[in-house]
Structure 1
Amino acid sequence: MVLSLCQEGEAGQKKEEPERRGKPHGPGSLRKSLHRSTMAMWIQAQQLQGEALHQMQALYGQHFPIEVRHYLAQWIESQLWDSVELDNPTEEAKAKRLLDNLVAELQRKAQLQGGEDGFLLKIKLGHYASQLKSTYDRCPLELVRCIKHILHSEQRLVQEATNASCGTGGQAMDTLSQRHQQINQAFEELRLATQETENELRKLQHSQEYFIIQYQENLRIQAQLSSLSSLPPAERTQRETTLQSKRATVEAWLTREASTLQKYRLDLSEQHQKTLGLLRKQQTLILDEELIQWKRRQQLAGNGGPHEGGLDVLQSWCEKLADLIWQNRQQIRRCEHLTQQLPLPGPMEELLSKLNSDITDIISALVTSTFIIEKQPPQVLKTQTKFAATVRLLVGGKLNVHMNPPQVKAVIVSEQQAKALLKNESTHSESSGEILNNNCVMEYHQATGTLSAHFRNMSLKRIKRSDRRGAESVTEEKFTVLFESQFSVGGNELVFHVKTLSLPVVVIVHGSQDNNATATVLWDNAFAEPGRVPFIVPDKVLWPQLCEALDMKYKAEMHSGRGLSEDNLVFLAQKAFTNSSNNPEDYHNMTISWAQFNRESLPGRNFTFWQWFDGVVELMKKHLKPHWNDGAILGFVNKQQAQDMLLSKPNGTFLLRFSDSEIGGITIAWVAENPNKPGERLVWNLLPYTTKDFSIRSLADRISDLNHLLFLYPDRPKDEVFAKYYTPPLSKAVDGYVKPQIKQVVPEFTTPNPEPSGGTPAFMDQTASPSVSHPNNFGVYPPMSDAMLDADGDFDLEDTMDVARHVEELLRRPMANQWSSQQS
């Protein structure tokens, strides 16, 4: 029993115009990830050479013939394979359409073939159409899985070849290409070393077989000598002399050959020791560096970092390792058999025992380390909510584990239980909760060569929490999902009990806990060290380190390259730290603690730094993403900065900034004349908008409603920036009904608008406040008392009318009465 635990266009034919059956969309589209070269990827793939060409050819077979790829190259590369979610059964209809279209395209291609040369091709393509239809008709998702694997693998091989050619052309190869080249060179050395020991082993076997034959000859001579006693003396003497001479010759040869065999065995053992050293070095490089880096990228992907895949490359390396290790293990076992068959004096038995033990350790480390979580469970895990995960054994196909498919079990364990498991203090899996649908059988996908278990419908029914320490809240308590399985290789020769832990998860029971739970996950993902004791993270980090994590999160949520600028980060530093400075260098060496990040409230507020930042992210993600990516929102600007910026600009210039006093609020600040003091200019701030407001009327439409807003800071006409987001005018009355229109007004800055045709608008008021002084007369609204303003000068929503209720109230009033009241 082995126990281990791992943490966390077509070439050569007439060019055809590709059929546009759909345009790729989104960053996940395969078409977007392909090289932006005029040359089709298949044409580039055909130019591969050596090992790369061999790897490309190995992608194809009965499951997907290479001829189909060749003759449908342009069509295949134009389809949206990446838009199909393989783990979602509801996507089967989409996959079925792709299969049907593929078959139809093959049949169409077959019908186009004519003449004697095209006759055989016509038959062949028709046969492939029928073959693919019968193979994948009941499991169309497997076809999509197969083609996605082929296209991504081709893309990788072409990219690696391109990088390599750039290097040979005198340009410096990037670090990734150099590392891959180093690994591939080491595999070639191992292949040659393994082939050499195989050749030497065969020579040894042949020599030993001949030795045994001669040994048997010597025994036969010995028997003949023993039978001479029955012969007459004269004949006996003559025969005895001949036989003894022959025996002496054979025995001398046997003595020499025994020494030679012994030397062969020792030399072969020494060669095996060197090969095992190379195998161990290569395995360390792949498992302790490449696989750990992949896991680190997977962890940072939880914070929005790029997780570029690379698992197929890792699997190909691990499979090569498994193949080479197994070959060497079989060679060592054959050496043992030869030694048992012909025992000779010397240390061979001990040497072979040591080699066998070493090779078993190597393959055990490989198998147990390559039992990984391909798709992590959600790190903020809500009880009674469905979730999914996928585990994969990278060497499963190579070791034929799927011949007896193993079952994987998932249990949730606490931080303390995870520590005990890693220290081997606990051999049985204690649970801290109950997960429904937590057993799954590993399935082998022949097209991709992957052995994996897809947990599609797990649900955490209940959780058992531990005693919390000090100020720690439930959203700071970490758990992990433990996946474990058992399987054998080599005909039950080796049995493996494998376990792997998911990234830390925070269990919540209500959506209101999501914000704080996400903070715990972000801090852990960003600052966890490889090989740590579960789940220790530093209590303090440098401010630039946190900036990097916040920027990664922000860019991921915006789906844009526009992240947080240096000025934005200075603003955030001023908010996080009590001492304010406008110099970025002042913050570079400062540290921020977990308590400052999300345990202690900001001065004068009832929320933490993270809660404020996360509120901004949620608001932007749900409603304002396009405007941020357009550069229309400055956002991270305080009230005093906005005033200084706007007072130097013409009246009607405005900007958008995040509210300092409210979570997930954004306000409009603009410069205008003081209606009570002619000649005096003030900067006004509108009551902050929240998600609730934008669910009623969009930001662009609100800005369009306010005629006194003319230029977006510094000097861009507002229609130039926002017009493409305006809601089109309402259509005319249908069936005698007119749909009312919601519009926003700021009474003090309202200018008369002509009555729209076909209906009367219902208005929604939004209050504004100057940031310099507060006039006593606001027209429609009574003067505001200081109690309605918070310490920052922003409005407290709890003391003002809820926008949604106000709209609802306006819409329920009789239209005629409303219009007459407005006229009066």
Structure 2
Amino acid sequence: MAMWIQAQQLQGDALHQMQALYGQHFPIEVRHYLAQWIESQLWDSVELDTPGEEVKAKRMLDSLVAELQKKAQLQGGEDGFLLKIKLGHYANQFKSTYDRCPLELVRCIRHILQSEKRLVQDATSASCGSESQSLDSLSQRHQQINQAFEELRLATQETENDMKKLQHNQEYFIIQYQENLRIQAQISSLSALTVAERTQREPTLQSKRATVESWLAREASTLQKYRLDLSEQHQKTLALLRKQQTLILDEELIQWKRRQQLAGNGGPHEGGLDVLQSWCEKLADLIWQNRQQIRRCEHLTQQLPLPGPMEDLLSKLNADITDIISALVTSTFIIEKQPPQVLKTQTKFAATVRLLVGGKLNVHMNPPQVKAVIVSEQQAKALLKNESTHSESSGEILNNNCVMEYHKATGTLSAHFRNMSLKRIKRSDRRGAESVTEEKFTVLFESQFSVGGNELVFHVKTLSLPVVVIVHGSQDNNATATVLWDNAFAEPGRVPFVVPDKVQWPQLCEALDMKYKAEMHSSRGLSEENLVFLAQKAFSSTSNNPEDFHSMTITWAQFNRESLPGRNFTFWQWFDGVVELMKKHLKPHWNDGAILGFVNKQQAQDMLLSKPNGTFLLRFSDSEIGGITIAWVAENPSKSGERLVWNLLPYTTKDFSIRSLADRISDLNHLLFLYPDKPKNDVFAKYYTPPISKAPVDGYVKPQIKQVVPEFTSPNPEPPILMDQTTSPSVGHPSSFTVYPSMTEAMLDAEGDFDLEDTMDVALHVEELLRRPMPNQWGNQQS
């Protein structure tokens, strides 16, 4: 059965492959209901190519059919009736299909089990590190839950059988009670008869009456015992239901919500909701069956009142079962797709809420409406403390009402808010140094619906993850910092939206690594050396020992409130600038390992001076947000025999939107080897822009922009680009030259940081000049 439990956890293409294994030849329902039996059989012991093994295969077929028939007989209740018919049909189908060729059945089952094992193993090997739990641990926990469901099913079936027995005995008791009343009426009517007739008939009637009354007294005691025993069984079943519900709602569902929160920081996607729904639906089904049994027991008690504590016991059972189902319904009203946690006003956004037990409780028969409002942190606290009975709003959301829809194919009941927009926001008074991008709100979703013919009415609410409201894109960076800190360090069951003011440095490293890998769509995250570099920056330290930082804590203020020493930006703003630069322009180079990035100027110098001239590396700028520079080692043009490490003015997103990193490296002929010793073309050639065709179009050749470092310019091996084929009267041959955006000495710095603000002005100016019409020989502009 363990294999089947694991197979049910498959996702995506693996799940589709597993489902494709089943069909009319072997229905998936048979695999599900006979999972333990199927996996315990020695299918591999049958030699498929040996005719004599057909007898053994026939025995296995007969055993399979017998197990199906046995399973069918155990089904009871309204829902079990259809399953009983279906399993009986499958038993007959297997008998007729494989009776003459039982070896084909063995071959079919072996293929299915081997394929399932391969799919599970592939899924296990694909998962790594903290991105997935141990499959063994997961299987054990799921097996525990499934076993508990089997116990609950059997217990519920047992109380159902006892209920039917009690009902039958009580009906017989009432019949006998009516018989006793009839005998009493006959005895009373004897007074109208003669003494002789009365003397003849009265002894018989009195004897019969005594016998019936004696039986009624004994049976009343028996019925009372049946009722008490049934109440005890229900108490035990409800205790098991509470335990199972606690395991699913307080552990499994809470873990799913935690994974959903970490997904906001780039953690693995929060899968497994369909499995949770199946568990919640089983709970709802079992709870409702037990509730109906308790209601029937109440009816029987009212029908035939007997002295004893039954009325109080049933009242308590009814209250307990109502509490259980209320907790289930209110806890399974969840947000499947969270609204964006950085929420910009006047911008469309979406969200999806889902009721995990909606289909099972037939809520969709009268589809409820869900309303969304945005509330402040204080309002959220009041709601959770039940201090506020109505939903006050801190803003206005357009298109904030939606009707829940039932999707028959998936069995889900959900509401999809596709076009919400935050029109305005009302901010509260800020505390101390808190900025608007540190203020947290939440989107409250609420609805009301009834189940069981309006027997129970539920008012359900659920809060989104914290959101930070911004009005301009420039606030996005700081708002993202608030969200990242909250997602990473929020504790389960917290008061909204309390987070620690300081955390251990390794905890923050884990959050930064998760964010970095997610943005880069890469398994190559931040190495220990990268994290040491970040620690040096965060703590203004010069230590290169990772152990020195393991016990250190970092505060929120150090993370994104206080500027780094000598800079006008915070640690997070610098890191986020790197992430944005890499994500937009340099992702493939990072994944190729071409960018060291997290290296300071002194480290780069030490590394390059031990390498041949022309060796270069790429590192992130210390002085500019979202900047990356090229450092290389070369001879000092002013002093023969002296070697220096040069640093090019940092490139930013604006630079790479004009010319890519690979092309810029290609332009610089003095760059030969990527550190430590890789020829640059081996690393970057696949990213070079193909050369522009020199064939003129409409009489013109398209120019191109290249960059040079004047002090390190070498003859360009490429032929010059002809700017115009028209011959000037004063020049006997076509003008030919290559245009380079000139780079001043201020752009080079062998020691310190750069003062020049923007390298793009020259390139943009040249680009503008190249687009202008050229003057002809008469001084007019060419078109």
Gaps of 5+ in 2: none
How far 1:738 sits from its partner (Å)?
A: 1.3
How far 1:807 sits from its partner (Å)?
A: 3.8
How far 1:467 sits from its partner (Å)?
A: 0.5
Are the equivalent residues in 1 in contact too, given 2:580–2:626 (CA < 8 A)?
yes
Which deviates the most, 193-202 or 779-788? 779-788
**Equivalents in 2 of 1:722, 1:521: separation in Å?**
36
SS in 2 for 1:822: coil
383 and 360 in structure 1: CA distance in 2 versus 1, 3 angstrom threshold = same
SS in 2 for 1:720: helix
How far 1:732 sits from its partner (Å)?
A: 3.6
TM-score by length of 1: 0.77
How far 1:735 sits from its partner (Å)?
A: 2.6
Which deviates the most, 137-146 or 65-74? 137-146
How far 1:552 sits from its partner (Å)?
A: 0.1
83 and 820 in structure 1: CA distance in 2 versus 1, 3 angstrom threshold = farther
644 and 823 in structure 1: CA distance in 2 versus 1, 3 angstrom threshold = farther
Are the equivalent residues in 2 in contact too, given 1:676–1:775 (CA < 8 A)?
no
How far 1:230 sits from its partner (Å)?
A: 1.1
Deviations 1:558-596 (A, max 9, x none): 111000000000000000002321000000000000000
SS in 1 for 2:413: strand
Are the equivalent residues in 2 in contact too, given 1:566–1:584 (CA < 8 A)?
yes
Q: How many residues align?
A: 782
**Equivalents in 1 of 2:133, 2:450: separation in Å?**
48
How far 1:779 sits from its partner (Å)?
A: 17
700 and 110 in structure 1: CA distance in 2 versus 1, 3 angstrom threshold = farther
**Equivalents in 2 of 1:732, 1:467: separation in Å?**
65
How far 1:174 sits from its partner (Å)?
A: 1.5
Deviations 1:44-80 (A, max 9, x none): 9899999999999999999999999999999999999
Deviations 1:76-122 (A, max 9, x none): 99999999999999999999999999999999999999999999999
187 and 101 in structure 1: CA distance in 2 versus 1, 3 angstrom threshold = closer
Deviations 1:17-69 (A, max 9, x none): xxxxxxxxxxxxxxxxxxxxxx9999998999999999999999999999999
Deviations 1:469-510 (A, max 9, x none): 111000000000000000000000000000000000000000
185 and 166 in structure 1: CA distance in 2 versus 1, 3 angstrom threshold = farther
601 and 400 in structure 1: CA distance in 2 versus 1, 3 angstrom threshold = same
**Equivalents in 1 of 2:311, 2:40: separation in Å?**
61
284 and 679 in structure 1: CA distance in 2 versus 1, 3 angstrom threshold = same
SS in 1 for 2:415: strand
Q: Does 1:256 align with 2:215?
A: no
Which deviates the most, 673-682 or 134-143? 134-143
42 and 465 in structure 1: CA distance in 2 versus 1, 3 angstrom threshold = same
Are the equivalent residues in 2 in contact too, given 1:744–1:763 (CA < 8 A)?
no
**Equivalents in 1 of 2:49, 2:774: separation in Å?**
52
Are the equivalent residues in 2 in contact too, given 1:670–1:684 (CA < 8 A)?
yes
How far 1:743 sits from its partner (Å)?
A: 0.9
Are the equivalent residues in 1 in contact too, given 2:334–2:355 (CA < 8 A)?
yes
Are the equivalent residues in 2 in contact too, given 1:747–1:780 (CA < 8 A)?
no
348 and 119 in structure 1: CA distance in 2 versus 1, 3 angstrom threshold = closer
How far 1:206 sits from its partner (Å)?
A: 0.4
**Equivalents in 1 of 2:597, 2:711: separation in Å?**
25
**Equivalents in 1 of 2:44, 2:774: separation in Å?**
51
How far 1:739 sits from its partner (Å)?
A: 1.0
Q: Indicate which of 744, 755, 761 corresponds to 2:718.
A: 755
Counterpart of 2:738 in structure 1 is 779
How far 1:232 sits from its partner (Å)?
A: 1.1
Q: Choose between structure 1 and 2 for higher RCO, CA contacts under 8 A separated by at least 6 residues.
A: 1
Which deviates the most, 364-373 or 769-778? 769-778
Are the equivalent residues in 1 in contact too, given 2:266–2:519 (CA < 8 A)?
yes
Are the equivalent residues in 1 in contact too, given 2:72–2:87 (CA < 8 A)?
yes
Q: Indicate which of 83, 107, 111 corresponds to 1:121.
A: 83
88 and 458 in structure 1: CA distance in 2 versus 1, 3 angstrom threshold = farther
474 and 44 in structure 1: CA distance in 2 versus 1, 3 angstrom threshold = closer
How far 1:798 sits from its partner (Å)?
A: 2.8
How far 1:417 sits from its partner (Å)?
A: 0.4
The 5 Å alignment of 1:702-781 reads 702-733=664-695, 734-754=697-717, 756=719
350 and 143 in structure 1: CA distance in 2 versus 1, 3 angstrom threshold = farther
Deviations 1:632-683 (A, max 9, x none): 0000000000000000000000000000000000000000000010000000
**Equivalents in 2 of 1:820, 1:102: separation in Å?**
98
How far 1:736 sits from its partner (Å)?
A: 2.1
**Equivalents in 2 of 1:142, 1:691: separation in Å?**
64
Are the equivalent residues in 1 in contact too, given 2:291–2:321 (CA < 8 A)?
yes
How far 1:234 sits from its partner (Å)?
A: 1.2
How far 1:237 sits from its partner (Å)?
A: 1.4
Deviations 1:765-786 (A, max 9, x none): 9999999999999999999999
Are the equivalent residues in 2 in contact too, given 1:685–1:768 (CA < 8 A)?
no
Counterpart of 2:631 in structure 1 is 669
55 and 821 in structure 1: CA distance in 2 versus 1, 3 angstrom threshold = closer
SS in 2 for 1:500: strand
316 and 211 in structure 1: CA distance in 2 versus 1, 3 angstrom threshold = same
Are the equivalent residues in 2 in contact too, given 1:166–1:172 (CA < 8 A)?
no
Are the equivalent residues in 2 in contact too, given 1:480–1:501 (CA < 8 A)?
yes
Counterpart of 2:339 in structure 1 is 377
254 and 95 in structure 1: CA distance in 2 versus 1, 3 angstrom threshold = closer
Are the equivalent residues in 2 in contact too, given 1:390–1:455 (CA < 8 A)?
yes
TM-score by length of 2: 0.81
SS in 1 for 2:780: helix
791 and 453 in structure 1: CA distance in 2 versus 1, 3 angstrom threshold = farther
**Equivalents in 2 of 1:149, 1:520: separation in Å?**
52
Deviations 1:786-822 (A, max 9, x none): 9989998222343766355334345357779999999
How far 1:132 sits from its partner (Å)?
A: 28
Which deviates the most, 72-81 or 702-711? 72-81
528 and 769 in structure 1: CA distance in 2 versus 1, 3 angstrom threshold = farther
551 and 822 in structure 1: CA distance in 2 versus 1, 3 angstrom threshold = farther
Are the equivalent residues in 2 in contact too, given 1:604–1:791 (CA < 8 A)?
no
Gaps of 5+ in 1: 1-38
195 and 54 in structure 1: CA distance in 2 versus 1, 3 angstrom threshold = farther
How far 1:623 sits from its partner (Å)?
A: 0.3
Are the equivalent residues in 1 in contact too, given 2:371–2:402 (CA < 8 A)?
yes
99 and 751 in structure 1: CA distance in 2 versus 1, 3 angstrom threshold = farther
**Equivalents in 2 of 1:550, 1:167: separation in Å?**
16
Q: Does 1:796 align with 2:758?
A: no
227 and 532 in structure 1: CA distance in 2 versus 1, 3 angstrom threshold = same
Are the equivalent residues in 2 in contact too, given 1:407–1:442 (CA < 8 A)?
yes
Tell me which structure has the larger Cα radius of gyration.
2
SS in 1 for 2:749: coil
How far 1:235 sits from its partner (Å)?
A: 1.2
